[in-house]
Structure 1
Amino acid sequence: MKRYYNSLAIAVFSAISAPSVADGIDIYGKANVTVQSSDEGEGSFTEVKSNNSRIGFKGEQALSDGLTVVYKAEFGVDLDGDSAKGDSITDRNQYIGLKGNFGEVLIGKNDTLLKQSQGKVDVFSDLNADIKALWKGENRVSDSITYKTKKFSGFQLGMTYVVEDSVDGEDASSIALMYGDKALKKSTFYAALAFDSEMAGYDVTRAVISGKLGGFILGAIAQTQENVSSGQEMDGFLLSGKYNIDNWVLKGQFQTAEFDGGDDKSGITVGADYKFAKNIKAFGFYTTFDMDSGADEDYLGIGLEYNF
């Protein structure tokens, strides 16, 4: 496996060094590492953790008749060195597609539309308080076809379709209607309504809203989900907020998950970022999970993030 990844790295970097290829390639990534005290019910321990660090290659090339080919190859990179099974490099979003007046079609591995619909509401994404800790629906799926319309008066419709991939396989779909700008840079309001059908074994409905209010950025998500096999249902909601003070960003988030049978779960996280530059920040956080039927969990950490 190690030989495979060494060969992969050599092939990738050899390819991007060629002038004829590199002209259309944008290299990007994120390094995020924390030092944290973690207690998952059996006592606390200290760990160094890589939080979805990644490197990617993307680009596009204009064709005739108003068409543009787009592509991306993104890989997760485990910066803490804990991978003992040869999985220090993992696949993330990887696709090729076309865009034009009809919108955009992407084929390959990609986040579902329901996952994309959350926008920036999850202010502790990639850390222990990531919404996937309590909810289903944060899926990145292979063998998928993704279609998004162009925006009309701020609205955009999108769909992910996962093909069966075998005679005995089953297809799945994810659809979302979105309004506004997820990052709230071009608008002060964002909203979405999304649905998963038999995606990774669950049917999910998710409603999202976020906006600017004075110096605050506030967000909320309501979700219902049902396990297709067992029929167990869950209802939950999430509230988040951010406030900027000079180079500081103060953040908080609260999430619930109420399951059939009274198995309730909730999480509270508070934290702060300090921006050294637009793409570099130090940060700290404290997360606590209250689990009815499982062990409570607590995480306290500090970290550094570099985007390029």
Structure 2
Amino acid sequence: MKKSLVLTAIAATLAAPAFAQSSVTIYGRLNLSVESTKVAGADKRDWQEVDNSSRIGFAGEEDLGGGNKAIFKIEHGFDASTGTVKGDRFWGRESTVGLATRYGTVKLGNLDNNEAYHATADYVSWVNHDTGTTSDFLYRGPNYYGSLQNAVSYNTPDLNGFVGWVQTAEAYGGEKSKPLALAGYYDRGALHLGAGFDKHGDDKATTVRANYDLGAFGVGGYFSHTTGSYEFNTWRLVGMYTLGANEFHLNYGGTNSVKVNDVDQGKAWQVTAGYNYNLSKRTKVYAFVTKVKDTEDNGSTGAFAGGTFNTFGAGIRHNF
């Protein structure tokens, strides 16, 4: 009996370093809000409960030695208000496997959106992380809608504050064109810069972003130039003031006259004001009001497919 216990203890001791070299993290977010929306032309406001990109994911890595790691990530998007799957794929947000080395990181699989978007428009969407009704409805990158499937992604290591990204995938769409996304981040103290180039066929979007931390204040914005089937410029300015657990947000953005397949569709603008109260590092409650104005009310301006509307609401978000 004693001999068996000793052998078991020795085996556990020898196995411990192997287990310590790999890890898996379970993470996610549940984010729901109750909102009242008035769409142009409607007789009354519509009250509804809205899911704001709730998700659950698993991320892991294995130490291969020499500074090299095997990595993976699988992420599932769902509607927390109904418990149903978002989209037509269970792991539709991301499912990738790759290698991280001192020369950079390579990932293969299904990517969630693309890094040209994450480095620019998404980076300065501070109210509710570019989710739900407070999303930026004016940004339009050709590969923004839906993920890049059968994709390859490479990003450099941190080079004195700069990280670059290159992403592509198998051809899709009517023209069967391969998508391409290029992105760059530069962080130096309180200054944060980003740039993105997103291409699919003849559709292209080139975007630059900057934001600066001023103690309790944060200010930033981006400018994007889109060509192809949609041709227009769009911009967004954002500001945030933090006072203890309180956050006060104000965003304003607009476009010039938008052409869709060479037809003028008018201009658009969006304004959002929000208040967040952080109950903890993981949980917050929030309230907001947002309005999108499409001057032609035809739903064709920028990326917004519903014309003019205004919404106010309140919600709760929990990260785990």
Correspondences of 1:6-25 after superposition (within 5 Å): 24-25=23-24
**How far apart in 2 are the matches of 1:63 and 1:86?**
35
CA 1:278/1:160 → structure 2, altered by over 3 Å: closer, same or farther?
same
- Once the two structures are superposed, what CA deviation does each residue of 1:141-191 show, in whole Å capped at 9, x if it has no partner? 11111100011111111111112279x73212111122017xxxxx31110
**How far apart in 2 are the matches of 1:143 and 1:300?**
39
- Once the two structures are superposed, what CA deviation does each residue of 1:40-89 show, in whole Å capped at 9, x if it has no partner? 22231100011100000001001144320110000111111185999695
- How far is the alpha carbon of 1:202 from its aligned partner? 2.5
Q: Helix, strand or coil: the match of 1:180? A: strand
Preserved CA contact (<8 Å) 2:116 2:198: yes
CA 1:52/1:235 → structure 2, altered by over 3 Å: closer, same or farther?
same
Which segment is superposed worse, 143-152 or 257-266? 257-266
**How far apart in 2 are the matches of 1:87 and 1:296?**
28
**How far apart in 2 are the matches of 1:307 and 1:44?**
30
CA 1:149/1:39 → structure 2, altered by over 3 Å: closer, same or farther?
same
Aligned to 2:233: 235
Aligned to 1:150: 157
Q: 2:198 aligns with which of 193, 196, 199?
A: 196
**How far apart in 1 are the matches of 2:308 and 2:227?**
24
Amino acid at match of 2:286: F
2:125 is the alignment partner of 1:126? no
Which segment is superposed worse, 135-144 or 296-305? 135-144
Q: Helix, strand or coil: the match of 2:139? A: coil
Correspondences of 1:1-308 after superposition (within 5 Å): 24-41=23-40, 42=42, 43-81=44-82, 91-110=92-111, 111-118=113-120, 120-124=123-127, 125-131=130-136, 133-137=137-141, 138-139=144-145, 140-164=147-171, 169-180=176-187, 187-198=189-200, 202-227=203-228, 230=229, 232-258=230-256, 259-260=258-259, 261=264, 263-294=266-297, 295-308=307-320
- Once the two structures are superposed, what CA deviation does each residue of 1:77-105 show, in whole Å capped at 9, x if it has no partner? 11111859996956102100001111000
CA 1:219/1:86 → structure 2, altered by over 3 Å: closer, same or farther?
closer
- Once the two structures are superposed, what CA deviation does each residue of 1:114-163 show, in whole Å capped at 9, x if it has no partner? 012125311231021312x2221234311111100011111111111112
Q: Which protein is bigger by CA-based radius of gyration? A: 2
CA 1:272/1:176 → structure 2, altered by over 3 Å: closer, same or farther?
same
RMSD: 2.5
Unaligned residue ranges in structure 2 (runs of 5+): 1-18, 298-306
Amino acid at match of 1:39: K
- Once the two structures are superposed, what CA deviation does each residue of 1:221-257 show, in whole Å capped at 9, x if it has no partner? 0001123xx3x41101000111111111000111112
**How far apart in 1 are the matches of 2:88 and 2:64?**
37
Quick one: percent identity of the two aligned structures?
A: 22
**How far apart in 2 are the matches of 1:85 and 1:275?**
27
- Once the two structures are superposed, what CA deviation does each residue of 1:175-214 show, in whole Å capped at 9, x if it has no partner? 1122017xxxxx3111012111217x62000000011123
Aligned to 1:14: none
Amino acid at match of 1:129: T
